[in-house]
Structure 1
Amino acid sequence: MISPEDYNRVKDKVITIDVRTKNEFEMLPHFDWAINIEFSEFISNYEHYLRLYNPDNKLIVTVCNAGNRSGQTSQFLKEKGIDALTLQGGIYNYKRKFK
């Protein structure tokens, strides 16, 4: 897990993947710099997306509303040997701290 404060310091140096649905991403607060790939789609095709968006093997930070799906995603990636963290408390927590 990465705190909102730590994420704010490194957000330009990591790959941010928002695992919410396209509708959630469009309708709810989100990060303009995040790559939106729905949770189930990302899990099913993670190797493709990593080749496409993370060829340099940067740290991946997964995000969602509150941290549930993104936590599952970062755990999945860790089990595959990939450096990944989830944003603590999700986007809502981040937006409360950094408006």
Structure 2
Amino acid sequence: MFILELTYAAPLDRVDALLPAHLSWLEQHYADGTFLASGRKVPRDGGIILAVAPDRPTIEAIAATDPFVPAAVATYRITEFLATTVAPALAPHRETLPA
């Protein structure tokens, strides 16, 4: 499982101009099952996405397609972790520790 942390690198008016494209991008990845939760950070200096993917290169490639990235309005910090304990709703994404 992955935590994608976005940090805005431009004024909010530039971020807001790209928000419709970013939201469409989010919807695409919710539909394909990659994204599990997302939202703005408080204070509003970026956002967080909880995601699942087979490996880090896949998640890095997905993050690179966020419309915020080529426009240079946000950067990503990606943290991978093993979700060994999960709420019932996330049971399909429960992971086991390597042997």
Fold conserved (TM > 0.5)? no
Normalised by the size of structure 2, how large is the TM-score? 0.32
Pair member with larger Rg? 2
Normalised by the size of structure 1, how large is the TM-score? 0.32
Larger relative contact order (CA 8 Å, sep ≥ 6): 2
Q: Which has the higher strand share?
A: 2
Q: Which has the higher helix share?
A: 1
